[in-house]
Chains A and B, each alone.
Chain A
Amino acid sequence: MDHAGFIFASYIAAFGGSAALAWYVVRRGRALGRQLPDEDKPWI
């Protein structure tokens, strides 16, 4: 595959960036969720 480095770098940026944000959001939600009672979480 020509330019494989550029192509894989693009997908690492796209998938890696998405995964990093997903990890951060879930982790932050759990950390904050531990500090509040379930009554404050209308989605539960």
Chain B
Amino acid sequence: MSERQRPGREQPRQHEQHEQHEQHEQHGNEDSAHVATTQTPLTGPGSAATSPVGNGAGTGTRFTRILGALTLVAMGVLALFALVISPPDVVQGETVRILYAHVGTVWVAYLAFVVTAVSSAAYLWKRTSSLTWDRIAGASAEIGVLFMAITLLTGSLWGRITWGTFWVWDARVTTTAFLFITYIGYLAVRGLGGTHQQRARRSAVVALLAVLEIPLVHFSVRIWRSVHQDASVATGNTDVKLDDTMLFTLLLATVAFSMLYVWYVLHRQRVLHLQDLLDDKGLDLALAERRSEGRPDASAAAPTTAASTPTATVSAASTVPTKDPVS
């Protein structure tokens, strides 16, 4: 998790370094032309791109490895129950097997979009404002979009068998597609550029607006006449008319996909953390190279007016002849 959430586990130097990054992101980048989402390659002698600086460790930890192994096991058991053990439905027959994947993925998509909204609110709230929340929101939204796409695809395949067509302009299907497109727009907004803080602020506002669509999608089958079936389990009463094995498989699907979601978010928000750091370091490196290019010429031409800012350095360098005037 973030440096602010686990300060006790860090070395003092690390903590100081991360604080500098946070301050740089919060203040320094506001005035710079830093494009946060552009992955600036670290080129140049001794840069990170040419020589690995870490020990090659990625985003995994002991916890994520254990969680990943458990998720794999859960997915295997789910496939076994969904495709082999659970009985066919009285009405739908074998087609019901598609719904175990469909319900599991739509559950994760809803969960991901709600987490995106909560994380965005946590970022906007001054007491908890941290770019870690923004990265969690971004990671969660990416995963939500993927699972929503899978939901639409599996629903479409189920619809082809049950309704005779891959797509109907039904209230539930249409609002779900609208929700999917909205979060693609959210990801596009995240990629607009600007500083990390600008990206976080604007995408947080979009996330808080987009999440309002979820109740509309969920209750669309009750608000409008719909060919999509209503809830089978979350009906509000305890009398669930579903075979025990089918109910177990359905719950197993939600648990297995939820575990997968947690694993994804942990890894993905760490990847975003690394990307942000590389953006910052790429900017610092570019500025340092620019300063080192301008400094000798500028000092030779006007040593008493040594430029202290990059802009002044560049302008001074541009007015100086390329040849040494003494020689």
Whether B101 lies near A11 (C-beta < 8 A) is yes
B281 to chain A: which residues have CB within 8 Å? 36
B201 at the binding interface (Cβ < 8 Å): no
Q: Is the CB of B3 within 8 A of A7?
A: no
A7 to B160: give the CA distance in the assembly, Å: 11
CA distance A7 to B88 in the complex (A): 12
The one of A1, A3, A40 that contacts B161, using a Cβ cutoff of 8 Å: A3
Q: What's the tally of chain A residues with a CB closer than 8 Å to chain B?
A: 34
Decide: A35 near B268, CB < 8 A? Known: A15-B79, A17-B150, A41-B54: no
Query: Of A14, A22, A30, A44, which is within 8 A of B154 by CB?
Result: A14
CB of B133 closer than 8 Å to a CB of A: no
Task: Mark out the residues of chain A between 1 and 39 whose CB falls within 8 Å of any chain B CB in the assembled complex.
Answer: 1-4, 6-7, 9-11, 13-15, 17-18, 21-22, 25-26, 28-30, 32-39
Q: Is the CB of B52 within 8 A of A34?
A: yes
Closest A residue to B104 using CB positions: A14
Q: How far is the CA of A28 from the CA of B94 in the complex (A)?
A: 39
Query: How far apart are the CA atoms of A41 and B17 in the complex, in Å?
Result: 11
Known: A3-B161, A11-B79. A30 touches B56 (CB 8 A): yes
Docked complex Cα distance between A1 and B274 (Å) = 47
CA distance in complex: A1, B150 (Å): 22
Interface residues of B in 28-87 (CB under 8 A from A): 42, 48-49, 52-61, 68, 75, 79, 82-83
Is A36's CB under 8 angstroms from B48's CB? yes
Interfacial chain A residues near B10, Cβ < 8 Å: 42
A22 to chain B, nearest CB (A): 7
Give Cα A38 to B18, complex, Å. 12
Q: Which residue of A lies closest to B49 (CB)?
A: A35
**Interface check B1, CB cutoff 8 A:** yes
Q: Nearest CB to that of B13 among chain A residues? A: A39
Given A14-B104, A30-B58, A42-B6, also A35-B42 (CB < 8 A): yes
> A42-B18, A44-B57 are known contacts. Are A10 and B153 too (CB-CB below 8 A)?
yes
Chain B proximity of A42: nearest CB distance (Å) = 5
| In the assembled complex, B319 has its CB within 8 A of some CB on chain A | no
Query: Does B270 have its Cβ within 8 Å of any Cβ on chain A?
Result: yes
- Contact check: which of A10, A32, A38, A43 meets B101 at CB < 8 Å? A10
Partner of B94, one of A7, A14, A32, A34: A7
Residues of B within 8 A of A25 (CB): 59, 264, 267-268, 271
The 8 A-B residue pairs whose C-beta atoms are closest, nearest first, are: A29-B59, A29-B58, A30-B58, A32-B274, A35-B48, A14-B101, A33-B58, A10-B154
